[in-house]
Chains A and B, each alone.
Chain A
Amino acid sequence: MYPASKITSKYIALCLLFALLLLFPFKNFIANVLMLFSDQRLPAISQNSKRIENLEKNNLLLSLELKKLNILENENNKLRKALDFRTEKNINIVGADIISFDPSSWRRVVLINTGKNEGLKVGMYAIDYNGYLIGRIIAVKNNYSRLMLIDDPEFNLAVFIGNDALGMLAGGLDSLKILYIDHSDKINLNDVVWFKIPLTAYPLYIGRVTKINENKENLFFEVEVKSFNSNTLLNKVFILK
């Protein structure tokens, strides 16, 4: 132990000065000067840190949104159970390579290298890299399957147009068409054509309305659709299980 009397006045003065520096608003001034200096000297770091801050902010918002959606999903499931609706199933994705094409130019059918062994079944849907619908499985063997693309003349599918209308998408080599749309349905150019995978809540987007043929003599509208998937050189597809 050192008695207080032994502490010299020099040390006391130093301690007081240090305390003064800590308490004095001058501290903020120094910090600001340092920040200004670092901002000027290192603009890239500053930009990156701002980007990181924004991303963190977005991440937080998204995680909050996800929590909210989880709560809503639970609530939805409870209500579905209460109302005795069919429960939704989750989907899984299997990647597949295209190994060959139908030799006829009039067909749009491809052979893919996954089959029953990977759990594929007839009627499953295929999407491209961007998640747009590109076709449906029509035949499955152990190691390979046949996939009919949406522009095959024999392809058809019940689809939604925008928010209100329903129709039947028919494939074609010239263009995709939607048939059997009633005149009372409201359809506009650029409406999105989509469909929902059965038993799930996942929407799959197909294309956009490009032409509406309103022939009053016909019972139905005839609508032309431009597919979102414009890649003619397909090599990889993803099957929704």
Chain B
Amino acid sequence: MREKNLKIFFTLLILLLIDLLKPFGYSLFAEFTFLGIVFIAMNYPFRIALIYSIIFGYLKDAASTGNVSFSIFEFTCVAIFIHYFLHHFRKKEAKFFIFYGALLFHLIANNLYIHKTQVLFSIFFIIHSSVIFLLINYILSPWFKIPRAEND
């Protein structure tokens, strides 16, 4: 259990660092921390997902420009919604819709937060995030020992 927690913590920390350092600059429209939280919420129990969403929501807010604790609220909501829907829809295909639901929620929440609708940016964000999430799944699943069938 301790090893699993450490793995989750360091994975999310690295994803947060990628968000902060942006090695691809502004050419890649994806939020690695958010995708990490979605991955954890989809594959781990509610308690763990909630704790990590609060911790990393706080860390993201600390590094952000605004004064509002927006990410704590958003990540917690995402963790709660994902577990709620996973509890009610147990089919394998449900994960696909839950992921895009979380992405859509993230898009709408952020567009409301900045009081602007960025259509082109949102389309790119969905495309880039989907690819990055597939990569995260592909890389992290064997390390976290998540069965492939459950994850796909």
Contacts and interface: CB of A to CB of B under 8 A. Distances in A.
A65 interface: no
A232 B26 CA distance: 5
Contacts of B111: 106
Contacts of A106: 110-111, 113-114, 118
B112 to A, nearest CB: 10
Contacts, number: 70
A101 B21 contact: yes
Contact of B27 (A104, A109, A233): A233
Given A101-B22, A103-B20, A105-B29, A154 B63 contact: no
A109 B64 CA distance: 9
A115 to B, nearest CB: 16
A104 B74 CA distance: 12
B121 interface: yes
A104 B110 CA distance: 9
Contacts of A172: 116, 118
Nearest to B29: A105
Interface in A78-108: 100-108
Contacts of B121: 173-174
B25 A174 contact: no
A2 B72 CA distance: 112
Contacts of A109: 65
Interface in A105-123: 105-109
Contacts of A105: 29-31, 110, 125
Interface string B1-37: 0000000000000001001111011110111010000
B60 interface: yes
A174 B114 contact: no
Chain A residues touching B, majority SS: loop
A104 B64 contact: yes
Contacts of B149: none
B139 interface: no
A234 interface: yes
Interface residues of B, number: 30
A173 B121 CA distance: 6
A102 B116 CA distance: 18
A108 B65 CA distance: 9
B25 A232 contact: yes
Contacts of A174: 118-121
A172 B64 CA distance: 18
Contact of A232 (B20, B27, B63): B27
A100 B25 CA distance: 10
A149 to B, nearest CB: 8
Contacts of B110: 104-106
Contacts of B120: 173-175
B51 to A, nearest CB: 20
Interface in A168-211: 172-175
A101 B20 contact: yes
Given A100-B21, A106-B118, A148-B65, 15 more contacts: A101-B20, A101-B21, A102-B63, A104-B65, A107-B66, A107-B114, A138-B65, A154-B114, A172-B116, A172-B118, A173-B121, A174-B120, A175-B120, A232-B26, A234-B26
21 contacts: A100-B20, A100-B21, A101-B21, A102-B63, A103-B16, A103-B60, A103-B64, A104-B71, A105-B29, A106-B110, A106-B114, A106-B118, A107-B64, A138-B65, A153-B118, A172-B118, A174-B118, A175-B120, A231-B25, A232-B27, A233-B26
